[in-house]
Structure 1
């Protein structure tokens, strides 16, 4: 395990969703290709998908459903963004998703500054997205916050500073977030390459080893108990 992972492990937990919601109100969710329950709904329909998430939360008496790191999903088959003739199918999720209602506050994981932001439009895309750069103890890395509301990117600038736990935005609904049930896609990125306001959150099986190395498990930072 390299130095950035070791550093993340040593930190206290970081909360990126409404701090008034305790981790005891979180529940895991399986959205993988092997999920029997998910196979019974039309995942191409955002309303049906949101109803499925809400039913899971109700069943578990929870407020936030989480999971998805390295999860192979059929969810991306609906969008050309992940499936085209020029590249391998991308269906392995390399961030951590936190499924909760639209409008929920999103918080900075650590002290940092805005590296890039944009409304990444299109079915299956992030919608409004903020990437924050962190420079701590000689480590430079980035956190990505995807599927936000439009209001989240209206009054920020490159270089805008955030403190750990400070509100950086709110979650968007399916009309703006790429057609998904409301959730935060949270991802850690070590080498961001030439990207500024976007970064792949889903990869192919052929590129999985690279992304596993470059995008550590976000739960090293969040420390949500399974």
Structure 2
């Protein structure tokens, strides 16, 4: 691990929560949405209903409530949207840079650490985040950011830049497919070291060409969540 990753891993010896803390970790299960998953070869992931059925079946089969995973995962799902693809361009974005937590719309989203609202926005491209919040954190002299995508419209309706959230406070709720970019309900959670000039948005999917930079700038969120 590099120094920033070591710092993140050392913030807490216990996993931090970013969704409803009343859901026990025993009700979490990993879900593989990579292009190499043979179970997905018969699923049309470009269709909301097909993808939602697949995810719900994974949760139901193991009697769980939250599916998680996806960091540094190459996915075929993004081929459905021109927001990620440029026809035959080899630099199409298809590598996921956050952790997804798949669960019910309306589920509470929590601040894992004390932070202030850096920015927020409704990213309305097809397949995009939909309502999104970015928090700024400072621990000692280290500043970094966390992004929460696929929220409900209500999550940003009365939000203000600079608003303080304490660890464990509700910052919003998960949206449904009508507002979240046409996905089954889930949270996209991402750590960002350098936010650059972005506000209310930051790439959550990158191309193989840019992967080295983004893995450095957006380390594995599981350093905090410890799932």
Bin for the TM-score computed over the shorter chain? over 0.9
- From 30, 43, 48, the equivalent of 1:46 is 48
**CA distance, structure 2, for counterparts of residue 184 and residue 29 of structure 1:** 14
Report matched runs for 1:96-111 at 5 Å.
Answer: 96-111=99-114
**CA distance, structure 2, for counterparts of residue 102 and residue 151 of structure 1:** 12
Cα distance, 1:5 vs structure 2: 1.6
Q: Which residue of 1 aligns with 2:150?
A: 147
- From 17, 27, 30, the equivalent of 2:29 is 27
Moved over 6 A (4+): none
- From 169, 173, 178, the equivalent of 1:175 is 178
**CA distance, structure 2, for counterparts of residue 41 and residue 204 of structure 1:** 23
What is the RMSD computed on CA atoms of the aligned residues?
Answer: 1.1
Aligned residues: 224
**CA distance, structure 1, for counterparts of residue 2 and residue 95 of structure 2:** 23
Q: Which moved more, 1:36-45 or 1:51-60?
A: 36-45
Please say if 1:138 is aligned against 2:141: yes
Q: Which moved more, 1:73-82 or 1:4-13?
A: 4-13
Cα distance, 1:11 vs structure 2: 2.2
**CA distance, structure 1, for counterparts of residue 127 and residue 155 of structure 2:** 19
Q: Which moved more, 1:205-214 or 1:36-45?
A: 36-45
Query: Against the structure 1 CA distance between its residues 87 and 161, is the aligned structure 2 distance closer, same or farther, given a 3 Å change threshold?
Result: farther
TM-score w.r.t. the length of structure 1 is: 0.96
**CA distance, structure 2, for counterparts of residue 11 and residue 136 of structure 1:** 9
**CA distance, structure 2, for counterparts of residue 123 and residue 149 of structure 1:** 16
Q: Deviations over 1:115-173 (max 9, x none)?
A: 00010002110000000000111100000000000000011100010011110000001
SS of the residue corresponding to residue 136 of structure 2 reads: strand
Cα distance, 1:87 vs structure 2: 7.5
Please say if 1:202 is aligned against 2:205: yes
Question: Which consecutive residues of structure 2, in runs of 5 or more, have no partner in the other structure?
Answer: none
**CA distance, structure 2, for counterparts of residue 219 and residue 80 of structure 1:** 29
SS of the residue corresponding to residue 4 of structure 2 reads: helix
SS of the residue corresponding to residue 206 of structure 1 reads: helix
Q: Which residue of 2 aligns with 1:5?
A: 5
- From 187, 196, 209, the equivalent of 1:193 is 196
**CA distance, structure 2, for counterparts of residue 87 and residue 173 of structure 1:** 31
Q: Which residue of 1 aligns with 2:121?
A: 118
Cα distance, 1:4 vs structure 2: 2.5
**CA distance, structure 2, for counterparts of residue 74 and residue 102 of structure 1:** 24
Cα distance, 1:10 vs structure 2: 1.3
